[in-house]
Structure 1
Amino acid sequence: MAKQETPRTDQDSPWKRILQQYFQEAIEFFLPQVAKLVDWTQPPEFLDKEFIKIAPDAKVGRRFADQLVRVKLKRGKDLVLLLHVEVQAAPEKKFAERIFVYSLRIFDYFRQPAVSLAILCDASPTWRPQQYGFSLPGTTLNFEFSIVKLLDYRDRMAELDASWNPFAIVVKAHLKLQETKKDSLARKTVKMQLVRQLYEAGYNAEQVLNLFNFLDWILVLPKRLDTEFWTELKAYEQELQMPYITSVERIGFERGVKEEAQRSLERERAFILRLLNRKLSSIPDATVTQINALSVEHLEALGEALLDFESIEDLIAWLEN
């Protein structure tokens, strides 16, 4: 089993981007009853500046993916619906209270209520905050909001596989993130499977790139497996003759390959120098400089030849020849 690198902590960033890129599809996927009321011929208006005024703490930590969006409804030209979308990655004791406070601030700011949706990405099957309220003498409050628990889709994989909605891929990617937390090799396999599904679903180049950026961000691989993944991806795209991803990412990929090759060369050179120092004691600085200038092929040859060296003169003679 491959060792897993420390996961990224800023997973809200790809969520925010994908919500903005495919907001209509997100509402159709998670809130279909609301999506039917919206006039999607009018583009959604993302109210980032207004939301920061309403909830200044949303700028930090896992709350960075919060979205406040204004859309037009089919009935009434001036009727506006505010959709408050939350992406929550871990259980939070006062989460329902926070949703209520945000909703109250939204109403105070716009003088209009908001539909609140919480997308729960955590791994706890029992944490399902949907209500905040209290009952006092003469005063009672009961605030309820919608939630989507991504964990519930584990038993709906066939439905996700059959869906063309981009958020089917988003949900599958998040489920695979949880499944492969301790198995990087399995993560590489499922990441490639998801990329293949992007092509098999018939998405265009822009959609493939957008969704791949989400996959690549959350399904992080260690350096070695990441290099193997990119090699497989390049071969797959060449086979399809559709280099959507590798044509855009080629510069970064090739840079990564070169950097990994350089690191490998440096490790091999350091290893050979340690062997030489143990076998021949101290190596003159001038000789070390010569060794550092050797090509990969000559360095490999030196690794074999040093077994026969008995003195520093043998090493110097080998380098001269």
Structure 2
Amino acid sequence: MVKLRDFEVHMEQLCSDPNPFALVTLAHLQARRTRRNAFQRRHAKWHLTKLLLRRDWDRQRIIDLYRPLDWLLRLPASLESRVRRGIHLIREGTDMAYLSSLERYGLEQGLQKGLQQGLQQGQAAQLLDILELRFGTLPEAVRNRVATAESAQLRRWARNFVYAERLEQVFTAE
């Protein structure tokens, strides 16, 4: 029975093999080899990433093959960002658009929007919790109003809460 680790003696051949599974096999072997050393793993991941990006494959195939490589060779965030910067530099020097600047912009905007939405939802949930603790069960209209409010408004209502004796006072002086 042949095992993946049996291919360790053929790593140089795997590097030049056009078969996509050769890269996945290399990623597995490197993951085993660098299990206890993040810096060596970063170097191995970078090497395999360059091999992948320099192949004359279409964008989707590269993305599909990078996923298992990325999963097998996980890195701490600081080292992962170095690999990403390297990918960006390689992409700039080639015609192959692994991720276009427009796609990156969309991704960044989506992330920013998601973070803002998460912050707003957390603020709303916290405000609803403290309102219920002080004033009891809240009317559905108040719950909806809080759930749909912007972050700045939620912060104002939270400050009003400190001095409010009645629920209505939280929502005054908007």
TM category, shorter: 0.5 to 0.7
The structure that is helix-richer by fraction is 2
Structure 2 residue matching 1:177: 3-state secondary structure: helix
Match of 2:83 in 1: 229
> Kindly tell me: are residues 179 and 240 of structure 1, through their superposed partners in 2, closer, same or farther at Cα, counting changes over 3 Å?
same
1:59-138 correspondence runs (5 A): none
Structure 1 residue matching 2:2: 3-state secondary structure: strand
Structure 2 residue matching 1:148: 3-state secondary structure: coil
Match of 2:51 in 1: 197
What is the CA–CA distance in structure 2 between the aligned matches of 1:249 and 1:193, rounded to whole Å? 25
The structure that is strand-richer by fraction is 1
> Kindly tell me: are residues 200 and 151 of structure 1, through their superposed partners in 2, closer, same or farther at Cα, counting changes over 3 Å?
same
1:293-312 correspondence runs (5 A): none
Match of 1:238 in 2: 92
What is the CA–CA distance in structure 1 between the aligned matches of 2:46 and 2:100, rounded to whole Å? 13
Q: 1:207 aligns with which of 58, 61, 70?
A: 61
Q: CA deviation at 1:176?
A: 0.6
Q: CA deviation at 1:159?
A: 2.2
- Note the aligned Cα RMSD (angstroms): 2.7
Could you tell me the TM-score, scaled by structure 1's length? 0.31
Q: CA deviation at 1:200?
A: 2.6
Q: Which runs of 5+ in 2 are unaligned?
A: 116-174
Match of 1:50 in 2: none
Q: CA deviation at 1:201?
A: 2.8
Q: Which runs of 5+ in 1 are unaligned?
A: 1-146, 260-321
The percent identity for this pair of structures is 29
> Kindly tell me: are residues 235 and 211 of structure 1, through their superposed partners in 2, closer, same or farther at Cα, counting changes over 3 Å?
same
Contact residue 233 and residue 246 of structure 1 kept, 8 A: no
What is the CA–CA distance in structure 1 between the aligned matches of 2:37 and 2:102, rounded to whole Å? 28
Instruction: After the TM superposition, list the runs of 4 or more consecutive aligned residues in structure 1 that deviate by more than 6 angstroms.
Output: none
Q: CA deviation at 1:212?
A: 0.6
Could you tell me the TM-score, scaled by structure 2's length? 0.56
